[in-house]
C-alpha cells in the first residue's frame, strides 16, 4: 500500500514531478508578468505624473503605488517559489501560496479600483480643477509648479480655456502685473510672454479634457494589467496547493 502511494508521487499527470515542472514554468511567466506590472507602474509615475498634486483625492496615486508594490512583490515571491518547489519545502510552499493570494488580492483591487475611478475622473476634474488652479497658482509653490507643468506638458491654458485666469486669485492679487495668463500658457515660453493673449502666442485649449484623456488612458491600462495579471495567480495557487497536498501525502507514506 505504501509503495503504491509513493509511486503516485512520480507517475501520472498530477504527479509531484509534473507539478514541480509546471510550477517552474509558471514561475518564469510569473516573473515576466511581475516585470510587466513593475514597468507599467514606473511608466505611469514617469509620464506627466507631476500633475497628480492637483487632484483632490488620493485614489490615482494609491492605485499606481499599489501596482508598483505588487510588481516588486512578484519578483521576491518568484524567488520563494523557485526555492520552495526545488527543495520540496512544504512550509516555504505554504508561504508561496499565501504570497500568491496576497498579490492576487492587491492586483484585483487595483484593477477594479482603476476601472471604477476612470468613470469618475471627469466629474472630479469638472468639480475641482478650475477651483484648484484659481485658488493655488502663485500661492502654493508645489501646486504652482504642478500647474505650470500641466499647461506646458499638455499645451493648454486654464481648466476650460485661457479666460479662466481672469477670475483667479493670482490675477486678482496682481492686477498691476504684466501677465494676463501664466507664462506656461505660451506656445513658446519666455519671461512675461503671458502678457499677450493672441492665439498665435498662447494655447487657447483648456487643460481639463486633455488631463482627463491622459488619466483615463493610464487608468484603463492599470485596470487591464491588474485584472489580467491577477488571473495568472489563480493557476499558481491551484498548482502550488496541489503540490503541497501531494508532498503531504508522500510525507505521510514515510512516517
pLDDT of residue 69: 93
pLDDT of residue 229: 87
This prediction's pTM: 0.83
Q: For 143-160, what is the mean pLDDT? A: 94
Q: Could you give phi then psi for residue 15, rounded to 5 degrees?
A: -70, 165
pLDDT of residue 254: 44
Cell 512550509 sits at which residue? 91
> Tell me: the pLDDT tens digits for 156-178?
999 999 999 998 999 888 765 78
Cα(113)–Cα(152) distance, integer angstroms: 29
pLDDT of residue 12: 52
Q: For 224-235, what is the mean pLDDT? A: 89
pLDDT of residue 14: 66
> Tell me: the pLDDT tens digits for 186-211?
999 999 999 999 999 999 999 999 99
Cα(205)–Cα(202) distance, integer angstroms: 9
Tell me how far CA of residue 8 lies from CA of 14, 16, 246, 250, in angstroms: 9, 8, 9, 9
C-alpha cell of 72?
516588486
pLDDT of residue 4: 47
Q: Could you give phi then psi for residue 237, rounded to 5 degrees?
A: -65, -45
Domain 129-209: give its CATH architecture. Orthogonal Bundle (1.10)
- How is the chain split into domains, by residue range? 2-121+219-254, 129-209
Nearest 5°: CA angle at 246, between 241 and 250?
145
Cell 509511486 sits at which residue? 7
Amino acid at each position: 500500500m505504501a509503495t503504491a502511494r509513493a509511486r503516485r508521487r512520480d507517475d501520472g499527470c498530477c504527479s509531484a514531478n509534473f507539478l514541480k515542472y509546471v510550477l517552474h514554468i509558471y514561475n518564469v511567466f510569473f516573473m515576466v508578468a511581475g516585470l510587466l506590472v513593475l514597468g507599467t507602474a514606473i511608466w505611469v509615475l514617469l509620464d506627466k505624473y507631476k500633475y497628480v498634486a492637483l487632484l483632490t483625492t488620493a485614489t490615482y496615486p494609491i492605485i499606481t503605488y499599489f501596482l508598483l508594490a505588487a510588481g516588486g512583490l512578484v519578483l521576491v515571491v518568484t524567488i520563494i517559489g523557485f526555492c520552495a518547489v526545488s527543495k520540496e519545502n512544504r512550509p516555504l510552499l505554504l508561504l508561496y501560496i499565501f504570497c500568491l493570494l496576497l498579490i492576487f488580492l492587491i492586483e484585483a483591487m487595483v484593477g477594479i479600483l482603476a476601472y471604477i475611478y476612470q468613470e469618475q475622473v471627469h466629474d472630479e476634474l469638472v468639480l475641482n480643477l478650475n477651483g484648484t488652479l484659481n485658488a493655488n497658482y502663485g500661492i502654493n509653490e508645489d501646486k504652482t509648479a504642478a500647474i505650470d507643468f500641466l499647461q506646458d506638458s499638455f499645451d493648454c491654458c486654464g481648466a476650460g480655456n485661457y479666460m479662466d485666469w481672469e477670475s483667479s486669485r493670482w490675477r486678482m492679487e496682481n492686477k498691476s502685473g504684466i501677465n494676463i495668463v501664466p507664462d506656461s500658457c505660451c506656445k513658446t515660453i519666455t519671461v512675461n510672454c503671458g502678457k499677450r493673449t493672441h492665439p498665435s502666442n498662447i494655447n487657447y485649449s483648456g487643460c481639463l479634457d486633455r488631463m482627463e484623456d491622459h488619466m483615463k488612458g493610464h487608468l484603463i491600462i492599470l485596470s487591464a494589467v491588474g485584472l489580467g495579471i491577477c488571473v495568472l495567480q489563480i493557476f499558481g495557487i491551484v498548482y502550488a496547493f496541489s503540490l503541497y497536498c501531494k508532498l503531504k501525502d508522500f510525507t505521510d507514506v514515510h512516517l
